[in-house]
Amino acid sequence: MAAPSKRSSRPTPVRKAVRSLTWLGVLIVALFGINAAGVIWGGGSWTPKLALDLEGGTQIILAPQVAEGESVSQEQLDQAVSIIRQRVDASGVSEADITTQGGQNVVVAIPGELDEQTRNRIESSAKLELRPVLLADAATNQSIDPSESPEPTDGAEEELSATPSVEPTDASDPNWVTPALQDEFDTFDCATLDDSGANVAPSDEPLVTCDSTRTIKYLLGPVEVSGEDIVDATNGMVQTQTGATTGQWAVNIVFNERGTEAFAEVSQRLFALNGQTPRDQFAFVLDGAVLSAPQMNGVITDGRPQVTGNFTQESSKALADQLKFGALPISFEVQSSDTISATLGTSQLQSGLIAGIIGLILVVIYTLFQYRALGSVTIASLIIAGVITYLMITILGWYQGYRLSLAGIAGLIVAIGFTADSFIVYFERVRDELRDGRPLVGAVEAGWKRALRTVLSSKSMNLLAAVVLYILAVGSVRGFAFTLGLTTIIDVIVVILFTHPMLQLLAQTRFFSSGHSWSGLDPQALGAVYRGRAEFRKPVAVPAKKAASSSREAQKRQTIAERKAAQADATVGAGESKES
């Protein structure tokens, strides 16, 4: 007795198709949910944000600030443009236009309304300096908590002013404090900090300044470490030695080799002065104002100090971004800030949309002409891809600040052809299998295995080109590269989760499996043949009653033929016997 056959646990094509379509539905619902959450709680919108060329925005003109008798070079301006562009991109704003003007100013044009954090990133030059503290006191007409910044002892202050004529040996040497500098420090009013020129003070001389809150004034030694030696900066919570967070935000700095060596020397000297407040402190000076002046509690030789102060999560991230992308070579001040109109406007946007609609219509006409009913799968796939792309662009608009420019729209239009190309590759592979004599279900599966490799190879090249273009290009060209790369990824998702599952389901229907002439998968029209010598003929459906009747007639004819043959044999046998 034959052993019972085991039922295969491998999922059928129909089950695979349903599972893929289910995942696609989950993805689309999730995107709708994320966008809805952004609209309700995140200030998002159901429409994409438009870039500077289509919506307009804010234009800020930055004028360089240099010491008297000095001038700004084109190299400094170009470097400033590069750094400001990186800062703006880091804030999530795309399609910004940053250029120089007249060899003097830097012009920054930002699409849409400018938020405060982005404005601070642009307007702050982030010229960072590390200077040792010589004196610290309460600001003029201000009160100060002694625990925040202890005042120097009388003995220390007398020491600072007692030997003004001795040449200083290092940046922390009290001999920097001359009677004139002491008098300037005593009479300095923090309310006048913005007009004091502290942001353009020489790096090799002491500096009288205040903290960013204008409550503490400082007398600082010459610069010992420059912000140009910073290679990275991040924000995060301050942690204790046990790993617990204190709830205080800080900026973590990483110096390059030169900065690490210089800061190690500073930390070693200041740590030796521990207890001689404020000379055991060092100040992080940003644009002439002291961000923080912590005490040196150890020798830092790894080049990874931490800046603390009155930071919030937003302000610490903004500062980290400024420092991460380098200090500007010169300081700037805002000369003007104005609202500007769109450079292209609504008519160009409408022209771009019309061009996209025309391209879509042409693709639809071609697919219906070439593939008949099978072309409906292409149309449905393009609709699904369009829905996912639209949701992704709107989500990126409120979450990452992405804005759609005319170049980006061009990328979407080009993507229509690229997306349809994936479907064509798959359909032709299925047709090839039908020509070889495979049934439709087998042709769909075999064609998919061949088409998937081709599609993935093609899309990998498209994605690589988009990434390279995005990295190397600037301005609106990056918008084209971004949309091209985004639609390439979405194309692959749609082909895998929608186009292939739909063909798996359609292959089970009578209309497509019977090779209807309007299905686009007619084996006879495609010139299909069996793998053997016989010509391929489509199966003809025969009614059950007619088939049974035909079978009985065939049996009856066979019986009559057998009887006639038997009678003929008997007659021949009788004749032979008579002759003998």
Please give the chain's pLDDT, 580 residues, in tens.
445 555 555 678 888 899 999 999 999 999 999 999 988 887 788 888 887 777 778 888 888 877 666 777 887 788 788 777 777 776 666 667 888 887 788 888 888 777 777 777 676 656 778 899 999 998 865 444 434 444 444 444 444 444 446 888 899 999 999 999 999 999 999 988 877 878 778 888 999 999 888 899 999 999 998 877 888 888 888 887 777 888 888 888 899 999 999 999 998 999 888 888 888 898 888 778 887 888 888 888 998 888 777 788 887 887 787 677 656 666 777 888 888 777 665 666 677 778 888 888 888 898 888 888 988 998 999 999 999 999 999 998 888 778 888 888 888 888 888 888 888 899 989 988 888 888 888 899 999 998 999 999 989 998 999 999 888 876 677 888 889 999 999 999 999 999 999 999 999 898 988 888 888 888 877 776 654 443 444 444 445 555 555 556 656 666 665 666 556 555 545 444 444 4
Q: In what order do the strands lie in the sheet with 105-111?
A: 97-101, 105-111, 57-65, 331-340
For CA atoms 484, 486, 492, 495, give the dihedral sign. Answer: negative
The pLDDT score that the predictor gives to residue 562 is: 61
Nearest in space to 213 (alpha carbons), one of 195, 190, 229: 190
CA atoms within 13 A on the CB side of 578: 6
Q: In what order do the strands lie in the sheet with 306-308?
A: 230-239, 245-255, 306-308
- Hunting for tokens 């219906």 — which residue is that? 368
13-41+345-513 belongs to which CATH class?
A: mainly alpha
The pLDDT score that the predictor gives to residue 544 is: 52
Specify whether the CB–CB gap between 388 and 28 falls below 8 A: yes
The pLDDT score that the predictor gives to residue 94 is: 63
- Hunting for tokens 């190879």 — which residue is that? 457
d(CA 30, CA 28): 5
Full 3-state SS string of 234-270: EEEEEECCCCCEEEEEEEEEEECHHHHHHHHHHHHHH
CA atoms within 13 A on the CB side of 51: 26
The pLDDT score that the predictor gives to residue 241 is: 77
Specify whether the CB–CB gap between 486 and 392 falls below 8 A: yes
> What CATH number is given for 126-327 in this structure?
3.30.1360.200
Query: H or E stretch including 421?
Result: helix 406-435
In the chain, where the domains are located: 13-41+345-513, 55-122, 126-327
d(CA 121, CA 340): 20
* Burial class of 406 by CB neighbour count within 10 A (0 to 12, 13 to 18, 19+): buried
The pLDDT score that the predictor gives to residue 571 is: 53
d(CA 510, CA 541): 11
Q: Judge whether 55-122 and 126-327 match in fold.
A: no
The pLDDT score that the predictor gives to residue 534 is: 39
The pLDDT score that the predictor gives to residue 563 is: 66
Beta bridge partners of 101: 105
The pLDDT score that the predictor gives to residue 264 is: 92
The pLDDT score that the predictor gives to residue 145 is: 43
The pLDDT score that the predictor gives to residue 549 is: 56
- Please name the CATH architecture into which domain 55-122 falls: 2-Layer Sandwich (3.30)
